[in-house]
Chains A and B, each alone.
Chain A
């Protein structure tokens, strides 16, 4: 058992050291690289905590898409303000230490009070696990997300849509040359994309289908799909467009439409609101959600209302 302890200790210590380095590095680029590494270690920590669903989400969103997004944001900042790179190493903000102390106190208070809580037997999680056998779903996380607490999931989809609309309202669409980082003529790019993009579609489909019975699901699958889209945006295979077409608008709202459509439509048959009628409804909604999440993240990444294929 001491091997377990050593592994967990190493992971915990590694995360603290990495977190300190991320915030104390002298340049932005180093912090971003360390953040990606931190995401990897975080995903390992989630697997040690028996939470593969969270490990998937952390790997896809925390390490992958966010890392790429921050590199992209930094690049665009340098385009807007070329002198910025010179003064990138900033001094520490005056509020840094008070904020750090306050957060430490908050975490310590929560941690100490959590130690004194009596473990409950009849938690909501226990009730959900007991009910799982009647649902036909094998993955309790999917069960909670789409059956037991599906109003939360529905609202999360709405939040994602609002985030996209908000970003569209405050930012001017990026020019095509700002979105792409790689010269489109670089010979290896085509070969890399030919592997990467089909792989992202394959993994996304696998995660979506696996999601009903084992770890996976619409959110992770959507993030993987978005990663494939991000690769296409970065290499200028997809370019920002001014106006979203009907297909884009439908795809972005598909998750919400399918969820509300089935959830409200079921009331015509005398069921309660959002009482999903069976596994087929879960599959349908998850697929629509995957498409919406994937496209929304890719659009947020590109900073554009729509994407079009590169004109030859």
Chain B
């Protein structure tokens, strides 16, 4: 069981690497931000599995925090002027 959880974490991390490609490539700032938020969601999944796998229930608090902060960062991003590549 523990092996399966470890592999699940690894699989999700590989997903993050794929998401990183989108963050780096863009092309618009909104694309990058959405990819960063996807990063956040996947990180929540990683943390929830790690809470079981590493037997650290406190990681669920960290996951909860990530969910909330994604909302704050989105509001802060909203209304920022566009990246110059988009003009």
Contacts and interface: CB of A to CB of B under 8 A. Distances in A.
Contact of A203 (B3, B7, B56, B68): B68
Interface in B9-56: 9-10, 13-14, 16-17, 20, 23-24, 26, 29, 32-33, 36, 39-40, 43, 46-47, 50, 54, 56
B80 A227 contact: no
Given A67-B76, A182-B75, 17 more contacts: A3-B3, A3-B10, A7-B6, A7-B10, A7-B13, A10-B17, A14-B20, A33-B23, A33-B32, A36-B36, A36-B73, A40-B43, A59-B62, A67-B73, A86-B84, A181-B76, A192-B71
Interface of A (DSSP majority class): helix
Contacts of B76: 67-68, 71-72, 181, 230, 234
22 contacts: A3-B6, A7-B9, A17-B20, A30-B83, A33-B32, A44-B47, A47-B47, A47-B50, A47-B56, A47-B59, A50-B56, A52-B62, A59-B66, A64-B68, A64-B72, A72-B76, A181-B79, A189-B75, A192-B71, A203-B65, A224-B65, A235-B75
A3 B6 CA distance: 6
Contacts, number: 163
A175 to B, nearest CB: 16
Contacts of A68: 72-73, 75-76
Contacts of B32: 30, 33
Interface of A: 3-4, 6-7, 10-11, 14, 17-18, 21, 27, 29-30, 33-34, 36-37, 40-41, 43-44, 47-48, 50, 52, 55-56, 59-60, 63-65, 67-68, 71-72, 74-75, 78, 85-86, 88-89, 181-183, 189, 192, 195-196, 199-200, 203, 206-207, 210, 214-216, 220, 224, 227-228, 230-231, 234-235
